[in-house]
Structure 1
Amino acid sequence: MGSTLPLRDIHLPPEPGWWPPAPGWWMLALCLVGVLILLAVLAWRSLQRARLRRQRLAVLEGLLREAGEPAIDRIRACAEALRRVAASEAPECARLNGEEWLAWLDRDLPGKPFSEGPGRALLDAPYRPSAEPQQAESLVRLVRQRLRGDFR
């Protein structure tokens, strides 16, 4: 009995390679791609909104430049800018007049600045022969605020 078995040393299996990755890494990669796509879409929408906001304000500023300094002309420019922008972005509002138009402009704004504030000047001021400068300037500020918002 003196025979000994010829045993060899223990050999470990080779370490796994880096490719293909484990399923968890594939899921993580898919999640990252999804997040990147979502961020790209959100950034694109934000850029589009900013571009639209700049275009709206450019319409108002162009009309105000053409109007000059008389307060009544500035009020008329505000009324025209609101109508132009609203008609191009929300055609359903083209039929609105009077209090309905002011209520439509009030939506998404805190309070009721068009129905109960300086925006009421849009009802009859464009048809008057003159207006007060402070009335025109408060309306210009309000219209700028409205044009920075969303018309839908």
Structure 2
Amino acid sequence: MIEDPLAALRPLHEPPPVSWWPPAPGWWIVLLLIVAAAIMIFRYERRMAPRRAALHELKLLKKNMDKIDHPVATLNQLLKRYALVCWPAAKVASLTGEDWLFFLDASGGNGKFSKGVGRLLLSDPYQKQHTDSNKITQLITLTQRWIKTNTPQKNPDV
């Protein structure tokens, strides 16, 4: 009788398992994309920090409007500080009075600073009696829109 010819064969041996290192080129590309996205998000968040801080301060001002001595003067200071973050100091720092209101209108105020409720910025800080809270609330809303319209620049002093 004939012996089984398959019995003479050696047993099968498995190839070595695939190593996890080094990864395939596609994984390197994915890693580079993740790192680039993280860097871009970090830079964007850092650049937008003044906007978040200004909006937070505005929210606190609106909440504590009755406790602040001169809310319109505080609002004007906030606008000036934020403008100095967004534009070169040579352009913004010296603006006062009507020129300041015209600048605010030209940069997103749509005429509501020089011809609307924004005129409070000129007169109210110097009044003994303050304007009613309804007008101040309108001014806070206008300021909030102005801050959201303007984006901080990377290098405002250039």
Same-fold status (TM-score > 0.5): yes
Instruction: Report the more deviating stretch, 40-49 or 132-141.
Output: 40-49
Report Cα offsets for 1:120-142 as digits up to 9, x if no partner. Answer: 21111111122122111100111
Q: RCO greater where, 1 or 2, for CA within 8 Å and sep 6 or more?
A: 2
User: What TM-score, normalized by structure 2, do the two folds share?
Assistant: 0.59
Instruction: Return closer, same or farther for 1:35/1:87 CA change in 2, 3 Å cut-off.
Output: same
Per the TM alignment, residue 32 of structure 1 is displaced from its structure 2 partner at its CA by 8.2
> What is the aligned partner in structure 1 of residue 16 from structure 2?
none
RMSD: 3.8
Percentage of matched positions with identical amino acids: 24
> What is the aligned partner in structure 2 of residue 115 from structure 1?
114
Q: Secondary structure at the match of 2:70?
A: helix
How many aligned residue pairs are there?
A: 133
Q: Tell me how far apart the structure 2 counterparts of residues 77 and 125 of structure 1 sit (CA, whole Å).
A: 11
> Does 1:74 find its partner at 2:77?
no
User: What TM-score, normalized by structure 1, do the two folds share?
Assistant: 0.60
> What is the aligned partner in structure 1 of residue 101 from structure 2?
102
Residue 58 of structure 1, aligned match among 52, 56, 59:
56
In structure 2, stretches of 5+ residues that fail to align are 1-24, 154-158
Q: Tell me how far apart the structure 1 counterparts of residues 101 and 152 of structure 2 sit (CA, whole Å).
A: 13
In structure 1, stretches of 5+ residues that fail to align are 1-25
